[in-house]
Structure 1
Amino acid sequence: MKTDKIFYRIFLRQPELIAELVPGIPPDCEFEYSAPVLKERERRLDGLLTPIGDDLNLPLVFLEAQMQSDNGFYRRFFGEIFLYLEQYEVTRPWRGLLLFPRRTLDFGVETPYRSLLDSQVERFYLEDLIPLTDLSPNLELLRLLVVSPEEAAESARRLLSREASEAAFQRRLDLLESILVSKFPKLSWEQIREMLDITNVRLQDTQFYKDVFAEGRQEGRQEGLDQGELEILLRQLSRRCGELSPQQQQQVKSLSRTQREALADALLDFTGMADFQVWLQQQSV
């Protein structure tokens, strides 16, 4: 999975992280994630977080993770925001949250947008997390994305060992597996299991263990990373759309690698099973 998609999964699974990064957001505020299309030029916002509830004083949050230099980034980011505000006739406040890996990358001229960058947009540089200790579990997840491979295994094990409810533990584990797959694309699931030292954590009772590591996986599996990615994709589809029928599972398994990557991106926009069925039908056209 692409790194920027992992960021959006983290925010979807750990919504309280927004309050840690954007001042003024209550810790218990819930958001609905979307990626709306802007009609002009058929642009699509990477991430829009809309507060759930009736409090119109809570802001929309325009979220974007940019991991590489792009000297047109600020121009595009603010252009899309104001196009959205006009197109959807927004009346509530808004904030921006930008995630960058390093301060040395070039994202374009800041001068025309200086007042907005200083007042309404939070820029979060992941490199600032590397030397820090005693971080919250949410910030530890972000830190794991930028630490060295040598430190990643220890950091992941430390994060798994932190006290949490069973539900929070499973969410944390789900995100950790995605991060490690992205960080170590050549490792098999067995090697990732060894990296996490799963014999020392509460894994045997989790759905992750039952789905991925229990013996007797379904016939027709692929070995190594491809199988791991497929398992993650099927679980995410089930969580987003509801339980998949055996026929639907087989349809997903028969997709090419390119189609699976496209599905992994598309499912962030799914609101239910109907969206998934439409997507499948489009693949057969």
Structure 2
Amino acid sequence: MKTDSLFYELFKLHPESLFGLAGLKADGKYAFESITVKTTEKRMDGFFRRTDGSGADIFLEVQGYDDTEIYWRLFQEIFTHYAQTGSRKPFAAVILFLDKKYDPKNCPVKKFTSPNRLIRLYLSKCLKAIGDKAGPLTVLKPLIFSDKEKLPQAVPKWKSEIDSLRMSESTEKLLIDLLENAIISRFPKMTFEEIQKMIHYTPIEKTVVGQELIQMGMNEGILNGV
């Protein structure tokens, strides 16, 4: 799964995640959709359509490589969409850079008429702001994880965060699948078998047998006056 597809699947499942990632408060309800600009035949990475009221629609571009024309292309696609649909709703253009180095910082538009706006997001900064908070965005945490040696400890923790959400079995399975794909995207030499072993690994002290052994050890210590 490509990285942009990972975001597509996450936001399709849970559109509110974009606001959590950006640290913004949603002022209405949104539906995530896939739209294609007819003149370029390019599918935008994400379109969040406001489903209540007349608030802004959100256009999302996920950028994970160098492209000095990214701002030009994004606005071209947004303006073409408005020309094709006749919509007059305000917009928010969101560019999510997987790494700050991919931002060419050459946006041709310096000022927007409110409430139209441009929002730049850097994935690492966004996820660090979230910290250890559990949520669907947990599936993105591997993308900024650098120490492969610590994956065996990190993966079960991410799995536990997803479990704590208490979602339906099908939704949880999808989130686990996205987590696996995020790990593969970050560490492409790893196999799914290696990752699944980490995900389904349970430390001995967390198992029933392990807890019984710990209790037996404690009881023995008490009997021996330890």
Q: TM > 0.5 between the two?
A: yes
Corresponding position: 1:184 with 2:181? no
- Partner residue of 2:77? 80
Counterpart AA for 1:98: I
Q: CA deviation at 1:22?
A: 6.6
The structure with the greater share of residues assigned to strand is: 2
What CA distance in whole angstroms lies between the structure 1 residues aligned with 2:113 and 2:73?
14
Change in Cα spacing, 1:48 to 1:104, as seen in structure 2 (3 Å) is same
Contact 1:34 1:48 in 2 (8 A): yes
Change in Cα spacing, 1:95 to 1:129, as seen in structure 2 (3 Å) is closer
Counterpart AA for 2:44: L
Say which of 121, 125, 129 aligns to 2:118.
121
* Structure 1: tracts of 5 or more residues without a match: 201-285
- Partner residue of 1:31? 31
- Partner residue of 1:107? 104
* Structure 2: tracts of 5 or more residues without a match: 204-226
Counterpart AA for 1:182: S
Higher mean C-alpha displacement, 177-186 vs 64-73: 177-186
- Partner residue of 2:141? 143
In the TM superposition, 1:91-102 aligns within 5 A as 91-102=88-99
* DSSP 3-state at the match of 1:58: coil
Contact 1:71 1:107 in 2 (8 A): yes
Contact 2:135 2:165 in 1 (8 A): no
Q: CA deviation at 1:76?
A: 0.9
TM-score by length of 2: 0.73
Counterpart AA for 2:191: S
Counterpart AA for 2:142: L
What CA distance in whole angstroms lies between the structure 1 residues aligned with 2:160 and 2:25?
30
Q: CA deviation at 1:196?
A: 1.6
- Partner residue of 1:50? 49
Change in Cα spacing, 1:9 to 1:101, as seen in structure 2 (3 Å) is same
Say which of 173, 177, 183 aligns to 1:174.
177
- Partner residue of 1:19? 19
- Partner residue of 1:89? 86
Higher mean C-alpha displacement, 162-171 vs 79-88: 162-171
Contact 1:38 1:45 in 2 (8 A): no
How many residues were matched structurally?
195
Q: Once the two structures are aligned, what percentage of the paired residues are identical?
A: 28
Contact 1:69 1:105 in 2 (8 A): yes
Corresponding position: 1:157 with 2:156? yes
- Partner residue of 2:3? 3
What CA distance in whole angstroms lies between the structure 2 residues aligned with 1:161 and 1:69?
35
Say which of 67, 71, 81 aligns to 1:70.
67
Higher mean C-alpha displacement, 180-189 vs 116-125: 116-125
Change in Cα spacing, 1:50 to 1:160, as seen in structure 2 (3 Å) is same
Q: CA deviation at 1:154?
A: 3.3
TM-score by length of 1: 0.59
Larger relative CO (CA 8 A, sep 6+): 1 or 2?
2
Counterpart AA for 2:55: L
Counterpart AA for 1:18: L
- Partner residue of 1:195? 198
Contact 1:149 1:183 in 2 (8 A): no
What CA distance in whole angstroms lies between the structure 1 residues aligned with 2:120 and 2:156?
28
Counterpart AA for 1:113: V
